[in-house]
Amino acid sequence: MSSPTASTTRPHVVIIGSGFGGLFAAQRLAKADVDVTLIARTTHHLFQPMLYQVATGIIAEGEIAPATRVVLRKQKNAKTLLGDVFEVDLEAKTVTSRLLERVTVTPFDSLIIAAGADQSYFGNDHFAEYAPGMKTIDHALELRGRILGAFEQAELSDDPEERAKLLTFVVVGAGPTGVEMAGQIAEMSDKTLKGAFRNIDPTEARVILLDAAPAVLPPFGEKLGQKAAARLEKMGVEVQLGAMVVDLDYDGLVVKDKDGTTRRIESQCKVWSAGVQASPLGKQLAEQSGVELDRAGRVKVLPDLSIPGNPYVFVVGDMMAVDGVPGVAQGAIQGGRYAADAIKAGLNGQTAEQRKPFSYYDKGSMATVSRFSAVMQVPIPGTKKKFETEGYFAWLGWLALHLVYLVGFRNRLNTLVNWFFAFSTRGRTQLAVTEQQVYARTALGALSEMENKPVPEVEADTSGADDPEKKAEAS
């Protein structure tokens, strides 16, 4: 077990997570008289809203996942540690992380927890093997391999039923990620892969978008949800609402419709984008401080984003539960900056009681549906109304906003070039896949289970230990 030694006696701020909340909090503390340690289980900062473009071959993973160390290399008061935080001790004021077999204990004076959320399968965790989520680079690369691999397998098959199963793609969850994913799979099959095979016609691929909810894009309201659904259906996507997934295996899934009947859809390639579950660190905070959690495991923080009895322990991003703050990038960014500002104000003598409550500024919501089509909802300042639009101008707004929040000029430039190529020629530059990308996650999971499984004790057979004949046979 190791423990980082502080080089100064300045207050030590520890940040868990390198997502929007963690990275923007670290950058906000750049000129503060503190030492900052950012601990994350990945080496990169992930721009999660564009993962679906990695999964469908539009952009490369490096363009939305710059190395955190490189991003923070000029910030002299910050350092990064690679490791999965598995324990937060509020009384001892330490954070414990693990990298392979190395365990590191990091003390803190202030703590910002931005550990994010994972995909939720609503108690059916075995679904993950057959329907990857959309939360990590590993997920996106695995899905890209599964999508393209389905077309390759269909090309080799002479069985019509098997081909139909291989060319049926099911996306579970009709939120922004699900809508974007379904739209891009449909565009890839209709445009990018058209004419690239000899035994199959990729344009005949079947794309299904499922959701137990009665509407597409529920947070955007009925009008925009209907517009998005109409656009998807025009592209050939089958939108099936009021349909709950009750079982899922390698070859397909079982769906329960709102009338109670069940049916099976044969599909080898499934994508899961329904539901999130906050980091298990929230449960530790609840046990130690008494703070409440919501159904998704998010922490019901105080108005200043801290937890009871711990004014310098903040929870931000997808881990925090605050009324009116959606689980989007802006909520994490604003929460991370607020926590950093509260820490800086504390250095100047401000007490926790003097803090102004966190106030979220809603900059609106956007979701792409297809090339040249998106939906956008932006609040009108000074009113309770929202400006809503869809189509080409909403799509341009989505492109501009996401370019702004990409980290690094080169990443913005490369993304812009790839977008121009993809949207003007309908080609995609990132269609290479490997067997490891498709199967490595499942194989590593199986290996981990084998390592954790106790080895059964085997009793030695000593019945013939003194028998010369049996000794001879054994030799």
CA atoms within 13 A on the CB side of 395: 13
Tokens at residue 309, please? 């009895």
β 238-241/206-211 pair status: parallel
Contact between 137 and 65 under an 8 Å Cβ cutoff? The reply is yes
Residue 457 is a catalytic residue: no
Residue 160, judged by CB atoms within 10 A of its CB (0-12, 13-18, 19+), counts as exposed
CA atoms within 13 A on the CB side of 397: 18
Measured at the CA of 386, the angle between CA 404 and CA 52, to 5 degrees, comes to 40
- The amino acid at residue 100 is L
Q: How far apart are CA 306 and CA 325, in angstroms?
A: 16
Catalytic residue among 180, 238, 388, 459: 180
Tokens at residue 159, please? 């069985």
325 φ, ψ (degrees, to nearest 5): -110, 110
Q: How far apart are CA 147 and CA 53, in angstroms?
A: 13
Q: Which DSSP letter does residue 317 get?
A: G
What is the Cα gyration radius of the chain? 25
CA 373, 317, 119, 56 torsion-angle sign:
positive
- Burial code of 243-256, b = ≥16 C-beta within 10 A, e = fewer? bbbeebeeebbebb
Contact between 377 and 386 under an 8 Å Cβ cutoff? The reply is yes
330 φ, ψ (degrees, to nearest 5): -60, -40
Query: Hey, which residues are catalytic here?
Result: 180
